[in-house]
Amino acid sequence: MLQTANHYVQIACFILSLLSSPPGGSHYLLLDEISHNLHQHGHEVRMLLQLGNPVITGFSYGGRADSYQTSTWSLGEKYIQEYNGWFLEQQTQFLLGRDNFNAFLNFTWHLSYQCDKLLGDKEMITFLQREHYDITILDAFNPCSFILAHKLGVHYIAFYPGPLNGPLSIALPSPVSYIPVFSSQLSDHMNLWGRAKNLFYAFLAPVVKNGQERVWSTFRQVAERHLESTGGLDELHQGAELWAFNTDFSLEFPQPLMPYTVLVGGLLNKPAKPVEQDLELWISNFGEAGFIVVTLGSMVSSVSVDPLLVELVAGFSRIPQGVLWRYDHKRWPSNLDRPPNLRLVDWLPLNDLLGHKKARLFITHGGQNSLFQAVYHAVPVLGIPLFGDQFDNVVRAETKGLGLTINPTQITRELLSSTIQTLIQDIRFKSSALSLSRIHKSHPVPPALRLIQWVEHILHSEGGSHLRPASLTQPWYQRYLLDLVLLLSLGLLGPVVLCWTFCRNKNSRDKHKKIQ
Does 272 fall in a domain?
Answer: no
- Same domain, residue pair 186 and 314: no
Q: Domain containing 15: what range?
A: 2-267+445-473
- Same domain, residue pair 492 and 432: no
Tally of structural domains, the chain: 3
- Average pLDDT of each block of 10 consecutive residues along the chain (516 residues)? 33 42 68 90 85 53 74 80 76 67 74 88 90 88 89 91 78 87 89 92 72 76 84 84 95 93 95 95 96 85 80 95 92 89 92 97 94 98 90 95 94 96 97 98 95 93 90 80 86 80 68 58
pLDDT of 305 reads 76
Does 241 fall in a domain?
Answer: yes
- Same domain, residue pair 399 and 495: no
- Same domain, residue pair 344 and 451: no
- Same domain, residue pair 229 and 282: no
Distances (CA, A) of 382 to 120, 365, 385, 428, 504: 44, 8, 10, 14, 70
Does 91 fall in a domain?
Answer: yes
CATH of the domain at 425: 3.40.50.2000
Burial class (CB in 10 A: 0-12, 13-18, 19+), 191: exposed
pLDDT of 15 reads 45
Distance CA 83, CA 296 (A): 20
- Same domain, residue pair 226 and 313: no
Q: Which of 441, 462, 490 is the last residue of a domain?
A: 441
- Same domain, residue pair 301 and 391: yes
Distance CA 270, CA 354 (A): 11
